[in-house]
Each structure stands twice: as structure tokens, then as C-alpha cells.
């Protein structure tokens, strides 16, 4: 990757279970003026949709955020002393978590997080609120009491996304994709729109809210003329400026199609945009902007708004290019049923990138790899783009040094040395294979509904991509291609993955709770299934020493075969739309947690004083003008999380609260 400054302050602060970091943007200063302007315009589009994500997560998130921000700003600026220092710190931490999770529900568990300050403190602080007169339900005497009920009542909007398959997923979820409507009504509504055996189906419901009013189902599409219009108009404003300085005609075509999609909400145009975006392979600068991932919908149908502005890391891209150029070899040698292999792999492009700006559901927490578009038929006919985010993985690595985590959960000193030597490249190669090839591999059987796996689709898809990566990491082909010098790289990743799936990721789950987040379910599924199936040959060993549990891999080659066996089954489940088997696999291996082990892991982790969740603040891009002409763009690294969030609330808030 481009050279980064190791003396840069990556870790800024820590509160509750969260740490706030910064990332560097190496290579920006060397860009041409037109490229800098393009990045600046795209970063503004990235920040302009922030309110949308808050509102999608829960219908009163914007109201709560704006009221809390007003209280915080007035209290700190006027240096009030109405409550104890500790109580105001707890109030501030609650607001920080609202910013971090884009709402009042934990970004990972989706449980509503409780306040650590008292109702008395809330009433004292809320009395000082002098902001806009927002609407609130008539059965509450005041705005303060309405918000108090949401924040303090554990029964009110208890969970943003429910994955409990025993009841109505919509009724159990506070997410704002649906209102006054039941799950069966939603499924019937979209089933009627779909055409059987359509080779190029649009993603019905991806960019809309569905509700029932006076007995009639109403679909509100997100567009410049529909729901979220003020924010989407602002996004379009900056995309138009970006179009004027596009690097080439292919990039300009993609940006212009995205603008048309935002103006109309037409999902056919969304598909046209995705095809044009996939075909733009020559641009240095790229972006993701739209309603894309459906993890936030309990039915796995509607997408949350997200955006990332980025540019290619030319040195690191050599690695991903080697992988993508050999995509057909990997597909031909995948350990799945031949019927479900792609006979011809099309348009697999891969690159390593540096993020310039994070936004929406990718901020403050962000993925470390991306593979898009999501539509299976677009992947099949036109291919996909895959990225590994180099400057984010580097920032994580730098911020976690000397944490003591490895020493606590790994007993074998050789395994620790292996991780320290190869862990970073092993993780990046895993991400490369997962994103570049895993998600784009395989194909559906003719006539299979792409949405047949419903709420189990996301963890199964992530498991499929992970298994693909894990299986091939140990293959001789990786050395033949010059991607690493020996298989110790693969062993380092196998160690990390199994340890994480069986134990260490539990630090992110509240004691006694099941696992619900899709990526965490995926990891436990893979690790727990392989542990159970490899018991007779002691492939993976769990043992205790001095009252502490450890995990050890005894046979890496046999573990690889287990990865391949599970990959074959998960691919079959997806290809055939086998809902019942997919459900059983998730429920049997990916959800339940051993209470005693969980308690032990949490106690060991607590002693390390490490926050299990990390997110970032963004740098700023400041245009330098001569008259009305931009003559340069300055990159500024900000250092204060609260100041950035308050600034964003003032500058990029385009939607009214309820």
C-alpha cells in the first residue's frame, strides 16, 4: 500500500464498548486538481445522505438525535452545572452511541441500548431544551416525556431488527421500512409484483417504505420527488458537480445514471447504473452511493442508505488483480457440485482501495471489503467489483497494537508469533478471496427464487464467501501465483478464524443473548460445524489450562477439507433455495451460545480494557478558492469525535424530524 505515517495518532478515545479511530488517506496530495475536485464533490455526496440512515433505522431517531444534540450544545457552550459531572458524562456517552449506531439501537446486536443516566437527569436537561417545536403523539403531555418513554422504557422499540423466526419479524422490529403492516402482507405484496422465471428481475422493494393506511397498502419510493427528497436532492447536487469532472466517459455515464435513478426511484435504472458502474474499470477514483445492503431489513429485502468515496491503491491492487485474473481457475476448482459452478466467470474485477470518506450505514463503522452489485443476474451477466480497503485495515492494525488480546486468548507462543508475522497479509488475502471471488462464485439453479432463503440469506451468503476464501487460502495455487511464500500465511488465518468463531467474537454479545448479527452467525456456523464434524479426528481441539479455555487446530489439511465440504452444502442450499435446510444449519450452529464459555470470555476480555467495537471519524476536504474557482483541495485530519458529529448535525441535516 502507499506509505503511511506510523506516528499518526490512530486511536482517539474509548467509551463503553466503543473505540473511535482515525484513518489516513495516503496519495491524495499527489493527485491532480481535477481528481481532488472529484473526490471533494463525491465526499459531499457521501455526507449528504446521513439523515436517511438514521430515519431508516427507526422513525424517531432523527427527533431524538436533534434534541440530544441541542441539549449537549447548549449545556457545554453555556457551561451549565445542573447535574453532576458523572451524570452529564453518561448523557454525553449515550449521545455518542446514538451517533455511532446511527440511532438508539446497538449497531451490532440491534438491541436498544439503555441510558446510564437517570430519569431525573433527563428531566433536568430536557427542561433546558429550547429547540424547534417538534410533533409528538397526543397521548404524551410533552416532547420530553415522549422521548423519555422511548429511551427509558425497555418495551418501547426494544429491537431494531429481529431475527426470531417464531413470530412476525416486522412486528418485532423497530426498523422504519414498514408501518402498520404485517409480514405476510408484505410478502404477498411483493410476490404479486414478481414475474416467474424472470432472468433479470429488479430488486422489488429495495428503495421504498411500505405501510398500510386506511386498509390500503402504500409504497413510498425514495427519490427527489418522494420520500427523503430533501436529502436526495442534496446528494444529486453534488453528483452533478462530480459528473462534470469525471475521469472518463464510463465514469460519467455511471454517475449520470445514478442521478436519474435518484430522480425517479426506478429500479430498472438502478440496474442500468450498476452495469455501467461495473464496466468502469479504468477510473482511479470510485464510489458507492445508494440503497444497497439489506442486512437492516428483517425480511432481507429493503436496503439502508450507505456511501463510500475511495480511490485505488495501485501497489496493493497488484495482489487483488492476480486473484481476479485467475477467477475462472478458482471457479473450476471449487469443491461444489459442478451444476452450480459458473461455466464462464464474467467481469470479475478486484482492487485494493483507500477510503477518502465514509457515510451512511458505512459510518462510523465500516466494512473492510466490499463486493457489489448484489443482484445475482448482474453478477452472472456482467460481473462484479470487489475491493479490499487497505487504509482501514491498516488503521485497525495500528490501533490494536500492544492490546494484550493475543496473549490472553492464545497459549501457544509459536501461534502468537505466526499471527504477528503473517496476520495482516493473511487477513487481507482472506478479504480479497471473500470479496473478489467468494461472493461472485457459483450460480442459482434454473427457476430458483433469489430471495428464497429470506431472513437466513445474509448469514448463509457470508458463510459461503468465507468458506470459499478459507478453502483456497491453503491451496498450492496461492503460492504458484506468488501471493505468499509459504502456507504459514493460511495457517495464521485458520487460527484466527476458528478462535474468533468459537470464542473471541463472543465479546460482542451480551451475556445470555443469542448471536443475531449476520457476519457473526456466519463465523460461528463455520467454526462450530467444523469443530463438531472434525471431533472424531480431533481436527480442532478445545482445552483448558489454569481455568481458561483455548482453541487449537491439530490438522490444517483436514480442516481445509471440512471447509470444502461445508462450502459444497451451503452452495447447494443457495443454488436450490433450500430454506428449511438453510434455516436448520443456522439455528443449529450459528445462534446458540454456551453460557459458561461466554461468561468466561467476557470476564477475560474485560480485564484487558479493550473496546470490542471500533469506528472512525472522517478527515475533511477543504476547497481553496481564487474568486469562485477551486484551485486546490486541502486534506485535514480531524481529532475530535464530538466536534465532528455536531458539525455534521449542523451542516448535513436535510430531513425534518417527526
Q: Which among 312, 366, 574 has a CA at the least distance from the CA of 465? A: 574
**Could you give the residue ranges of the DSSP H alpha helices within 346-474?**
376-382, 390-399, 405-409, 413-432, 457-473
Q: DSSP 3-state helix, strand, coil percentages of the chain (rounded to 5)?
A: 50, 15, 35
**Are 454 and 579 within 8 A, CB to CB?**
yes
**Are 439 and 465 within 8 A, CB to CB?**
yes
**Are 307 and 360 within 8 A, CB to CB?**
yes
| Beta-bridge mates of residue 387 | 351, 370
Per-residue pLDDT tens digits for 407-417:
999 999 999 99
Instruction: Please report how the helices 33-48 and 229-244 are oriented relative to each other, as an axis angle in degrees rounded to 10.
Output: 170
Q: What is the domain partition of the chain in residue ranges? A: 21-156+630-651, 313-614
**Are 572 and 337 within 8 A, CB to CB?**
yes
pTM: predicted TM-score of the whole model, two decimal places: 0.88
Per-residue pLDDT tens digits for 307-344:
999 999 999 999 999 999 999 999 999 999 999 999 99
Task: Give the containing element (helix H, strand E) for 48.
Answer: helix 33-48
Q: What is the pLDDT of residue 657?
A: 87
Region for residue 27 given its phi and psi (left: phi exceeds 0; alpha: psi -120 to 50; beta: otherwise): left
Per-residue pLDDT tens digits for 214-263:
999 999 999 999 999 999 999 999 999 999 999 999 999 999 999 999 99
Mean pLDDT value across residues 173-198: 94
The burial class, CB within 10 Å (0-12 / 13-18 / 19+), for 656 is middle
What is the phi/psi pair of residue 157, to 5°?
A: 50, 50
C-alpha angle with apex 223: 222 to 226, nearest 5 degrees?
A: 75
Q: What is the pLDDT of residue 403?
A: 85
* DSSP SS3 for 459: helix
Q: What is the pLDDT of residue 426?
A: 95
365 has pLDDT over 50: yes
**Are 286 and 355 within 8 A, CB to CB?**
no
283 has pLDDT over 80: yes
Q: Which of 168-172, 192-196, 570-574, 583-587 has the lowest mean pLDDT?
A: 192-196
**Could you give the residue ranges of the DSSP H alpha helices within 265-364?**
267-279, 314-325, 327-332
Strand ranges, E, within 73-207: 178-179
Mean pLDDT value across residues 134-162: 93
Burial 413-447 (b: 16+ CB within 10 A, else e): eebbebbeebbeebbbbbbbbbbbbbbbbbbbeee
149: cell is 418513554
Distance CA 390, CA 357 (A): 14
Burial 594-611 (b: 16+ CB within 10 A, else e): eeeebebbbebbeeeebb
Distance CA 22, CA 392 (A): 9
The HSE-up count of residue 49 (CA atoms within 13 Å, CB side) is 33
Mean pLDDT value across residues 21-38: 98
Per-residue pLDDT tens digits for 546-579:
999 999 999 999 999 999 999 999 999 999 999 9
Q: What is the pLDDT of residue 1?
A: 41
2 has pLDDT over 50: no
Q: What is the pLDDT of residue 531?
A: 98
379: cell is 453478477
Distance CA 533, CA 345 (A): 32
**Are 204 and 215 within 8 A, CB to CB?**
no
What's the Rg (C-alpha) of the chain?
Answer: 24
**Are 587 and 516 within 8 A, CB to CB?**
no
Q: Write the DSSP string, 499-547.
A: HHHHTGGGGGS-TTPPP-SHHHHHHHHHHHHHHHHTGGGTSEEEEEETT
Higher pLDDT among residues 2 and 518, named by residue? 518
Distance CA 534, CA 329 (A): 28
Measured distance between the N- and C-terminal CA atoms of the chain, rounded to whole angstroms:
45
Per-residue pLDDT tens digits for 571-623:
999 999 999 999 999 999 999 999 999 999 999 999 999 999 999 999 999 99
- 165 pLDDT tier (thresholds 50, 70, 90): confident
Q: Which residue has the cell 506468488?
A: 482
Distance CA 43, CA 66 (A): 23
- 128 pLDDT tier (thresholds 50, 70, 90): confident
Mean pLDDT value across residues 498-512: 95
Per-residue pLDDT tens digits for 108-125:
999 999 999 999 999 999
Q: CB within 8 A of 628, min separation 6: which ones?
A: none
Q: What is the pLDDT of residue 4?
A: 62
Q: What is the pLDDT of residue 38?
A: 98
451 has pLDDT over 60: yes
- 421 pLDDT tier (thresholds 50, 70, 90): very high
Mean pLDDT value across residues 195-217: 93
* DSSP SS3 for 388: strand
**Could you give the residue ranges of the DSSP H alpha helices within 196-248?**
229-244
Per-residue pLDDT tens digits for 32-86:
999 999 999 999 999 999 999 999 999 999 999 999 999 999 999 999 999 999 9
Higher pLDDT among residues 621 and 198, named by residue? 621
- 3 pLDDT tier (thresholds 50, 70, 90): low
| Beta-bridge mates of residue 551 | 542
The HSE-up count of residue 458 (CA atoms within 13 Å, CB side) is 19
Q: What is the pLDDT of residue 7?
A: 79
Q: What is the pLDDT of residue 5?
A: 64
The HSE-up count of residue 481 (CA atoms within 13 Å, CB side) is 22
The pLDDT mean for the chain works out to: 95
* DSSP SS3 for 257: helix
Q: What is the pLDDT of residue 248?
A: 98
Q: How far is residue 227 from each of residues 104, 210, 263, measured CA to CA in Å?
A: 22, 11, 11
Output the CA torsion 524→526→527→531 (10° steps): 130
Q: How far is residue 105 from each of residues 115, 366, 386, 573, 642, measured CA to CA in Å?
A: 11, 17, 30, 32, 19
171: cell is 412486528
Provide the 8-state DSSP code for 115. Answer: P
Per-residue pLDDT tens digits for 622-653:
999 999 999 999 999 999 999 999 999 999 99
Amino acid at each position: 500500500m502507499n506509505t503511511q505515517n506510523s506516528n499518526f495518532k490512530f486511536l482517539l478515545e474509548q467509551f463503553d464498548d466503543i473505540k473511535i479511530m482515525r484513518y489516513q488517506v495516503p496519495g491524495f496530495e499527489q493527485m491532480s486538481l481535477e481528481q481532488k475536485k472529484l473526490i471533494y464533490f463525491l465526499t459531499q455526496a457521501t455526507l449528504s445522505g446521513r439523515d436517511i440512515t438514521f430515519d431508516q433505522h427507526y422513525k424517531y431517531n432523527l427527533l431524538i438525535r436533534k434534541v440530544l444534540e441541542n441539549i449537549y450544545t447548549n449545556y457545554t457552550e453555556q457551561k451549565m452545572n445542573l447535574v453532576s459531572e458523572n451524570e452529564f458524562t453518561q448523557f454525553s456517552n449515550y449521545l455518542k452511541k446514538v451517533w455511532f449506531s446511527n440511532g438508539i439501537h446497538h449497531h451490532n446486536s440491534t438491541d436498544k441500548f439503555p441510558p446510564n443516566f437517570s430519569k431525573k437527569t433527563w428531566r433536568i436537561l430536557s427542561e433546558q431544551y429550547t429547540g424547534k417545536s417538534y410533533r409528538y403523539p397526543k397521548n404524551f403531555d410533552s416532547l420530553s416525556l415522549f422521548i423519555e418513554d422511548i429511551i427509558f422504557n425497555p418495551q418501547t422499540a426494544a429491537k431494531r431488527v429481529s431475527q426470531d423466526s417464531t413470530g412476525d419479524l416486522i412486528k418485532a422490529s423497530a426498523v422504519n421500512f414498514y408501518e402498520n403492516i404485517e409480514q405476510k402482507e408484505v410478502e404477498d405484496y411483493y410476490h404479486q409484483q414478481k414475474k416467474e422465471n424472470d432472468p433479470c428481475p429488479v430488486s422489488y422493494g429495495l428503495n421504498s417504505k411500505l405501510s398500510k393506511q386506511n386498509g390500503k397498502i402504500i409504497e413510498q419510493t425514495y427519490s427527489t420527488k418522494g420520500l427523503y427528497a430533501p436529502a436526495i436532492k442534496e446528494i444529486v447536487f453534488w453528483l452533478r458537480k462530480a459528473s462534470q469532472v469525471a475521469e472518463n466517459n464510463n465514469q460519467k455515464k455511471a454517475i449520470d445514471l445514478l442521478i436519474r435513478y435518484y430522480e425517479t426511484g426506478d429500479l430498472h435504472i438502478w440496474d442500468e447504473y450498476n452495469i455501467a458502474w461495473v464496466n468502469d474499470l479504468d477510473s482511479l477514483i470510485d464510489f458507492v452511493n445508494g440503497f444497497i445492503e439489506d442486512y437492516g431489513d428483517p425480511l432481507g429485502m429493503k436496503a439502508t442508505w450507505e456511501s463510500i468515496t475511495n480511490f485505488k491503491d495501485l501497489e496493493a491492487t497488484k495482489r487483488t488483480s492476480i486473484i481476479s485474473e485467475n477467477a475462472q481457475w478458482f471457479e473450476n476448482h471449487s469443491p461444489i457440485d459442478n451444476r452450480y459452478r459458473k461455466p464462464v466467470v464474467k467481469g470479475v474485477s478486484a482492487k485494493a482501495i483507500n477510503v477518502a470518506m465514509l457515510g451512511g450505514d458505512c459510518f462510523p463503522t465500516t466494512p473492510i471489503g466490499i463486493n457489489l452489485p448484489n443482484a445475482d443476474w448482474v453478477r452472472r451477466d456482467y460481473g462484479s467489483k470487489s475491493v479490499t480497503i487497505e487504509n482501514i485495515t491498516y488503521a485497525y492494525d495500528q490501533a490494536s497494537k500492544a492490546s494484550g488480546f493475543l496473549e490472553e486468548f492464545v497459549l501457544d507462543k509459536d501461534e502468537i508469533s505466526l499471527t504477528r508475522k503473517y496476520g495482516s497479509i493473511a487477513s487481507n488475502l482472506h478479504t480479497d478471496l471473500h470479496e473478489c471471488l467468494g461472493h461472485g462464485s457459483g450460480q442459482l439453479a434454473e427457476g430458483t427464487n433469489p430471495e428464497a432463503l429470506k431472513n437466513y440469506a445474509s448469514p448463509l451468503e457470508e458463510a459461503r464467501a468465507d468458506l470459499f476464501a478459507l478453502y483456497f487460502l491453503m491451496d498450492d495455487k496461492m503460492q504458484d501465483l506468488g501471493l505468499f511464500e509459504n502456507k504459514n500465511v493460511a495457517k495464521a488465518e485458520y487460527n484466527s478464524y476458528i478462535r474468533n468463531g468459537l470464542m473471541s467474537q463472543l465479546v460482542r454479545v451480551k451475556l445470555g443473548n443469542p448471536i443475531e448479527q449476520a457476519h457473526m452467525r456466519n463465523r460461528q456456523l463455520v467454526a462450530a460445524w467444523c469443530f463438531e464434524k472434525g471431533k472424531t479426528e480431533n481436527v480442532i481441539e478445545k482445552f483448558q489450562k489454569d481455568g481458561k479455555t483455548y482453541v487449537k487446530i491439530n490438522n490444517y489439511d483436514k480442516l481445509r477439507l471440512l471447509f470444502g465440504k461445508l462450502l459444497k452444502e451451503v452452495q447447494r442450499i443457495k443454488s436450490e433455495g433450500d430454506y428449511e435446510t438453510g434455516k436448520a444449519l443456522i439455528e443449529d450452529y450459528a445462534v446458540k451460545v454456551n453460557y459458561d464459555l461466554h461468561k468466561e470470555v467476557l470476564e477475560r476480555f474485560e480485564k484487558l480494557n479493550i473496546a470490542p467495537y471500533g469506528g472512525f471519524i472522517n478527515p475533511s476536504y477543504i476547497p481553496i478558492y481564487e474568486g469562485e474557482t477551486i484551485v486546490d483541495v486541502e486534506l485535514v485530519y480531524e481529532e475530535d469525535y464530538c466536534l465532528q458529529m455536531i458539525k455534521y448535525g449542523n451542516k448535513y441535516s436535510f430531513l425534518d424530524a417527526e
